[in-house]
Structure 1
């Protein structure tokens, strides 16, 4: 029986619940039933629902809308043939290709293209493709939804009623449409076929079938008209979601704004002339809850009354940030499951405008173990995930795709070289390659020719070829043999083999893949070439379960290439155009788009655990509880990014299928799909600026519709789940860093280098998060950039000065030779390019070195003897022989009360005896330190203070009367004169005299602070200690003084660098410092004040 029957209901589930047999064939010999759904997720839900209801379902035939239109249009063969048939119908990707070739063929000289001529001429090759990509979806939309426009184009008639600018854009778009879709071209658009069918008396001769349009109002006017014509021959049933029972325009503001989609469809019903219309006003759930009363008010287009009750059926959450949202979500779901034993995770849905933003946090916070679900674990499945290119095999393929025409920079090649799916590599070899590339300072450019063609001023420094020459030179050159190359130290045999593989791989990649940027080929030739390149360069891992995962990714990439072959068939291999060949950027863009279109899943959709998906039309399938995330202002609803030539808003349309209209209607679907509970989440506060943020406009409209009392449904959540963080317990022995070696007497005691104690004082927040917690910041791990090094980094010169002052001060006696040797080595190491800027930098270095040499002469006059320096090793092994240059001291042990002992080890260099009238005074030791600042502060004293402290504690009864620290650097500084007995102060009046009365006790206090800094972050930066020392109120109210000083430091924008203000660890992990911690004043008094740092 033929006919068009329309069913309207606000409940999606009511259709298959009421008419289950409508979706199924009566028996295997009956005519088939085709169910047309908007998305695959809806089809899966329908199949599962019918299976539960009917006990089993066989052969449920699901079609997407365009598949259905193409299938049933073939039932009118004569009309199809007049339009070129359905074989060469152009869809989005085919439309892009044909428009690109049409634009290329027509050129921009035609006066009709004056409106876009300037845009195209700036970069013809790239912008032709960009214009084609922008125009293709617009043309596709025109065909299905702007019927008056495309109907006029079929007769080459300008569309009337447009302004001057729009007329100019309409003219060149009409020219393109006519070039692609004309009587001689082998292409057709679905809308042209449907238009031809609508005007023909030809009977339908296709397959006899029943058609069910399930929940779809997105077919467009032309698609709906086609199915209405098809109903003259077939049995067509159309089920539509309609939130309001009335056919006229809704009067409620919330309904008026969010139901434009269904209102547009309702306006078409008279033209569709259904043979029967059935309406169902089912309201899911039970009881008079706020959520059910909300649905009733919408169904009947009435005001919401009486005021809403806080019964838990409808909640709106103000949540600070994505991670916190998932934490709150988990708590809410666990509570709901605990309160209702009959509620199953599969009856819960989680939606978000883009679920992929939340997926990584769900993986962390929803720990679902396959066979052992803990009390706080939630099983879940996620759909609508983007193609996971971060997996090794697709990541390696992406790295290959980036190489044609590239700079061959380290940032482009390292992701490939380190990838386990790169055929020449293995994990051990990849690590060696990374180390080798870092040591060689390789930046970019395959060789001199490549760098020269890319416009480099220095054609050698930093290239792969130069680095490889240094490796090879290491086998037959010593460093002194040449002034033009710095040989890499000869590598062991295994590493030499790895280096050889690296050299060969980079050279072959440059020879085979880099030149593809300038090539043009047909689509089939491009796909064949890349199938060959994949076979050469990529290989799945052999270990289980990675081999199966990589093989799956390999097949998906191969399928994408085969899809491009199919696309080539769809566009008739572009043989309708004079030049069917495509440049590399166009092929790459097509391949990326096809691969990006493949969405991923985790878990079994709808079958296991909580279902998580993106918020899309007909995606809000019925659940008992639904949670919608990310309903933020200016984020959702989405907006169409309309180009200047887009005419969609100028053409009358019955159905508004704009992005905003579709998103708003999706919220209505959610409201009617949640049987028992609905939670809406939005970000209510800016995490950085602290500003209050509003929810999305539809959420605000919902609150207005609920009226007085709606605020009772709001839930505001704090930034952290707890008010203050509990301190971490002292680290267990098995979690502490493993020392690199054991000294005599250490046993299982934890050891620490004395310089790490200084690092702790310099940045105690970093010490806690990096050492104790093991956290890492991406900024700390960033690779060098792929650009020329115009000048050496500042830290290299800082380190060079510090090393010279502390360990090799005689090198400063000849500043010219010192700088010449440094700059030569920098160039040979590729640490800096040969540029005028580098030469200017070297001149500045020379001035600094001359200043240090002058300071060296000054301290010579004060008794410093640079010719007789020595080092002290703390805790040397028995076999380590003492010498004049290396003295061995006992291993230091510190064990504060109640804490595990700590052994302090390391080497203190640059020591000496004060020279008095040519004779060394062994009761006055000397030490040199470098200070880059003009004004010394607590931070600049930390290293030398710690060195003096551990030396004094280790020397014990052999303590000298004084350890004098000569400070060189930004200017002439007074020496710091540390003494250890109140009864033997230093003689003379020069320098700063500092008493360390009980070195071993002070060391224990330092180790105590070090251990406490592993339990919780102690934000006592040296900069803060400096500020507290200037504030007399610190002794009376330490927290207030610390807070005042802290805020002053953060708000000071005049200093270029502040260790506290600019600390990435503080900003990332500790936005709110715990200055009320009672350990801070103890640490400040014991170490900074009484200890002698300040």
Structure 2
């Protein structure tokens, strides 16, 4: 049975889920299955369930796509653990296909883009973009997929798709048709299905997924816990700009199209379409809407959305604003740093005004946390102890949260590069790398002085300069400079005497020779790496080379070992996806680095820092709007939010929008609405309102 639990408060939905989980399953050791759209929401869910139940254990949390594929494997025999049409696998398959294009007329646009096809990185980038589009078509355009497989191809995308399906591999559209048929026929083992499943926090689901969940609900209990901002029916409301675009022959009143609440009409399109789509399925409904408790401006805004009221109309006149009402704050500042400084001061004022308010009751979000994360750390960590606010920053990405991984990529970037002296010496800032070559932190100052004194600037030797179409001179290269340092230690020349045309550099003496030996070992290992990174080789060979680099250059300790383990796991995942795709073509290092970065970024980053204690600072992520007493949004600039997204020119969905489709700008609009509703005491909005150089006024985001 499909149970739909609706509320405007996530806390009420958690209470409802708790009541469901208190009913024991028939199998005592069977896990409870919960579907959530994000890791952050899953972490918050586990904490809240532990508060209510005393412990949260044996809970299996999955994403919607993963759950539906696992259900398909239960119902159908012989299904692989990962589909050959999953994006990571599909990219390798497309990369191989793009290298084997024939002269079919419809493939001419691909030939024009790829040229002679020698640039494998250009081909890989195109394969990634096409894979992203195909992944969206599988979810939102199953009718296109069926038509492409049935009819003769007229478009290059249809031709590529037919080549992909010629292997007989199954994809979501065909699998879910078989699953629906199996569910209707009862041709499956009921004991292998979960007894119940709960879906929490999703604001939208593709119609394909919703159909399958509704079909599954005929066999097991499916509890859909839906965060609905409005208790009235709001499927017919439209934003004023949408009503203005209607054809002249359409009368909005006759079509029952109204604005209702302007905020809900403008920001809630994505949720409106999903909730309206849900009306087509038989279900048992439970409503748990709650009136916002309070008389502040924020609470009145939330109440107007809840009751679909148009404030300022004849029926609902404007409300007077109290002078002491600080529930909705908008701050215009001179630059991001000033935004963070003002935020810190305003948080201190809120803590002073309400002694019950704790740092853990506050969340700070930004569209680009990579910009604001370092600024938050700089401002919040630099204040005196008595004014310090505990905080944690999540979602900053691999480069910030795992610096040793970035050192590893810097090593790879040196392959075929200039070996600039500054770039090479910066590598020695990493303790794990210094330990491998027996260098101490105090040796770095000495080594930098030696490199300057020996005149080392760039290049391994004369051959490196020749590679850059420059005269093959050995002066100012690493090998010449190291020869001068070694000769100066063995045979001091006092800056005058030459030995075989080499001028000794007398900077090294005594026990400092140990540091020189470590520098020599490090640079020789680095120079040996250069030749290996220039070659093209199959992915399996590259994975072996990169694992060797990890062992050769790093001696990790404790947390550093965890960082390098992420790289090893990503390398293992790359090998698995390429093997499943049957890909064995030689590649350049640029392709491998790009694929490895993509794999590392796809792993949940900073999950331990989210809700890690104190003020939570994180990125604005769709479907992760968790209730907090104080919600702060930074960086709501005109050009930053909604975040710009330019789809590729060949994305066939871009100009053929259908109800239920996801779009980046609609995601951000609905996220802003969810954020407004998740604030319990105060909503804090901040943007750069004046230019820091000439004080010119800058507009905020259109949502502000």
TM-score, length of structure 1 as denominator length: 0.57
1:216 corresponds to which of 202, 217, 230: 202
- Give the aligned partner of residue 388 of structure 2: 377
- Whether the aligned pair in 2 keeps the contact of 1:144 and 1:222 (CA below 8 Å) is yes
2:228 to 225, 242, 250: 242
Query: Aligned-pair distance for 1:464?
Result: 1.7
Q: 1:256 aligns with which of 261, 265, 289?
A: 265
Match status 1:644 vs 2:649: yes
User: How much does 1:141 deviate?
Assistant: 1.2
Query: 1:40 and 2:39 equivalent?
Result: yes
Residue 38 of structure 1 and its aligned partner are, at CA, apart by 0.9
Question: 1:259 Cα shift?
Answer: 0.8
Q: 2:7 aligns with which of 2, 6, 9?
A: 9
Provide closer, same or farther for how the CA distance between residues 368 and 488 of structure 1 changes in structure 2, counting only shifts above 3 A. closer
User: What is the aligned counterpart of 1:172 among 145, 156, 174?
Assistant: 156
CA shift for structure 1 position 215: 2.0
Partner residue of 1:550 out of 550, 556, 560: 560
Distance 1:75 1:409, change over 3 A: same
Residue aligning to 2:295 = 288
1:71 equivalent in alignment to 2:67: no
**Residues 602 and 231 of structure 1: CA distance in aligned 2, closer, same or farther (over 3 Å):** closer
1:94 alignment counterpart: 89
Which residue number in structure 1 is paired with residue 253 of structure 2?
none
CA 1:485 to 1:181, structure 2 compared with 1: closer, same or farther past 3 Å?
same
Matched, 1:362 2:376: yes
Displacement after TM superposition at 1:418 (Å): 4.3
**Structure 1 unmatched ranges of 5 or more:** 159-166, 541-546, 700-1094
CA distance in 2, matches of 1:196, 1:321: 55
Shift of 1:295: 1.4
> SS of 1:237's equivalent?
strand
Kept in 1: contact 2:415–2:534 (CA 8 A): yes
Alignment CA distance shift 1:51-1:497 (3 Å): closer
Deviation at 1:600, TM superposition (A): 4.2
SS across alignment from 2:665 = helix
Asked if 2 retains the 8 angstrom alpha-carbon contact of 1:210 and 1:234, the reply is yes
What is the deviation of 1:685? 0.9
Residue in structure 1 matching 2:219, options 230, 233, 245: 233
1:691 matched residue in structure 2: 696
The aligned residue for residue 481 of structure 2 is 467
Larger displacement relative to structure 2 (650-659 or 624-633)? 650-659
User: Which residue among 164, 175, 200 is the counterpart of 1:193?
Assistant: 175
Q: Distance in 2 between matches of 1:16 and 1:391?
A: 33
Matches within 5 A, 1:448-467: 448-467=462-481
Q: Which digits, 9 at most, give the CA deviation of each residue in 1:342-392, with x for residues without a partner?
A: 2222222222213332222222332499xxx94312122332221145866
SS at 1:491's partner residue? Answer: coil
Relative to structure 1, the CA distance from residue 44 to residue 293 in structure 2 (aligned partners, 3 Å threshold; closer, same or farther) is same
- 2: CA distance between counterparts of 1:15 and 1:390? 33
Contact 2:206 2:661 in 1 (8 A): no
Shift of 1:257: 2.2
Give the structure 1 partner of residue 349 of structure 2.
335
Change in 2 beyond 3 A, CA 1:435/1:656: same
Residue 191 to residue 651, structure 1, CA distance change in 2 (3 Å): farther
Instruction: Tell me the CA shift for residue 341 of structure 1.
Output: 2.1
Deviates more, 1:232-241 or 1:453-462: 453-462
Using the TM superposition, give the Cα deviation of residue 157 of structure 1 relative to its aligned residue in structure 2, in angstroms.
Answer: 5.0
Cα pair 1:380 1:603 within 8 Å, conserved: no
Distance 1:256 1:597 in 2: 33
SS at match of 1:526: helix
Flag the 1:593–1:247 CA change in 2: closer, same or farther, 3 A: same
Indicate how the Cα distance of structure 1 residues 368 and 38 shifts in structure 2: closer, same or farther if over 3 A, else same.
farther
Match of 1:352 in 2: 366
Are residue 111 (structure 1) and residue 105 (structure 2) matched? yes
Structure 2 match to 1:306: 318
- Kept after mapping to 1: 8 A contact 2:149/2:162: yes
Question: Residues 676 and 429 (structure 1 numbering): CA distance in 2 closer, same or farther, change over 3 Å?
Answer: closer
Correspondences of 1:315-714 after superposition (within 5 Å): 315-367=329-381, 374-388=385-399, 393-422=404-433, 423-424=436-437, 425-472=439-486, 474=488, 475=491, 479=496, 481=498, 485-489=502-506, 491-523=508-540, 525-540=541-556, 547-569=557-579, 571-574=580-583, 579-601=584-606, 605-606=610-611, 608-699=613-704
The whole-number CA distance in structure 1 between the counterparts of 2:549 and 2:500 is: 41
Question: Displacement, 1:482?
Answer: 7.6
SS at match of 2:342: helix
C-alpha contact 2:41 2:201 (8 A) present in aligned 1 = no
Secondary structure, counterpart of 1:278 in structure 2 = strand
Query: SS in structure 1 opposite 2:331?
Result: strand
Q: Is the 8 A contact 1:6 1:277 kept in 2?
A: yes
Counterpart contact for 1:146–1:653, Cα < 8 Å: no
Distance change >3 Å, CA 607–CA 261, structure 1 → 2: same
Q: Distance in 2 between matches of 1:500 and 1:624?
A: 58
In 2: Cα distance, 1:233 partner to 1:308 partner: 54
Partner of 1:131: 126
- Larger CA Rg, structure 1 vs 2: 1
Q: CA deviation at 1:518?
A: 1.6
Match of 2:274 among 259, 262, 265: 265
Paired residues of 1:8 and 1:280 also in contact (CA < 8 A): yes
> Could you say which residue in structure 2 is the equivalent of 1:794?
none
Distance 1:55 1:426, change over 3 A: closer
TM-score, normalised with respect to structure 2 = 0.87
What's the CA shift for 1:636? 0.4
Aligned equivalents of 1:608 and 1:498: distance in 2? 42
CA distance in 2, matches of 1:39, 1:391: 21
Does the CA-based 8 Å contact 2:92-2:581 persist in structure 1? no
Task: Work out the CA distance in 1 between the residues paired with 2:381 and 2:486.
Answer: 51
Q: What residue number does 1:144 align with?
A: 139
Per-residue deviation, 1:57: 3.6
Distance 2:364 2:424 in 1: 39
CA apart distance, 1:214: 0.7
Q: Secondary structure at the match of 2:606?
A: strand
Partner Cα separation in structure 2 for residue 619 and residue 154 of structure 1: 37
1:291–1:678 Cα contact (<8 Å) kept: yes
The structure showing larger relative contact order (alpha-carbon pairs under 8 Å, at least 6 residues apart) is 2
CA distances 1:762-820 after superposition (whole Å, capped 9, x unpaired): xxxxxxxxxxxxxxxxxxxxxxxxxxxxxxxxxxxxxxxxxxxxxxxxxxxxxxxxxxx
TM-superposed deviation, 1:697: 0.8
